[in-house]
Chains A and B, each alone.
Chain A
Amino acid sequence: QKEVEQNSGPLSVPEGAIASLNCTYSDRVSQSFFWYRQYSGKSPELIMSIYSNGDKEDGRFTAQLNKASQYVSLLIRDSQPSDSATYLCAVYASNYQLIWGAGTKLIIKP
């Protein structure tokens, strides 16, 4: 069964520091990877998508993909209290479906 694993947290990071969120996946042939942010009581919103090995940067966010290790991560630089949320990792499986991790709760402490 295809799986996506995330540490549930909570991950506590001081304001201004780098938050590092990690995700591993089981399906070696996966080609599309996504990070979503979900505030409490709200729906998930897309932060980053990544399809190739290496780093992809967008503002304070950097997604890192290592297909050999089946590992994808999200780095948040200069963490702000507004970054406190649950971060969901999703991997494309097949047949129009994404496989979702259970999410990591991130807390940014002022």
Chain B
Amino acid sequence: SQTIHQWPATLVQPVGSPLSLECTVEGTSNPNLYWYRQAAGRGLQLLFYSVGIGQISSEVPQNLSASRPQDRQFILSSKKLLLSDSGFYLCAWSVGTGDNEQFFGPGTRLTVL
């Protein structure tokens, strides 16, 4: 069966510090991978998605970036965090042509102070 991992679970960072969040998927090959952000009490905002190694599509211009160095690894990064970067960061995977279900990892709650 498939499993998705995210770490860390919780993170508190000062403004201006760097960020690296990691997501890995087990039990499937060539998944589509997604990074979402969910602000408190709000819906899901798609940040990036990837359909293969090294292929990243960005949906929202911001100070975040994503990379996919391996088939089942997806990394979200920032060089300098802003207060507005606080939120619940979710990694998800799907298979096929993108019109299938997405499955979510446990998420990382980021607080920028």
Instruction: Spell out A's residues near B (CB within 8 Å).
Output: 31-32, 34, 41-46, 49, 88, 90, 92, 95-98, 100-103
Contacts and interface: CB of A to CB of B under 8 A. Distances in A.
Interface residues of B, number: 23
Contact of A43 (B43, B49, B97, B106): B106
Interface of A is mostly: loop
B11 interface: no
A102 B45 CA distance: 10
Name which of B99, B103, B107 has the most chain A CB atoms within 10 A of its CB: B99
B42 A97 contact: no
Contact of A96 (B32, B44, B90, B109): B32
Given A44-B44, A97-B59, A92 B98 contact: yes
A46 B59 contact: no
A101 B43 CA distance: 6
Contacts of B99: 31-32, 92
Contacts of B44: 44, 88, 100
Interface in B28-60: 32, 42-44, 46, 49, 51, 57, 59
A41 B101 CA distance: 21
Interface in B58-113: 59, 90, 94, 97-107, 109
A96 B98 contact: yes
Contacts of B98: 92, 95-97
A41 B107 CA distance: 9
Nearest to A49: B101
9 contacts: A32-B100, A42-B106, A43-B90, A46-B103, A49-B101, A96-B97, A96-B98, A97-B59, A102-B42
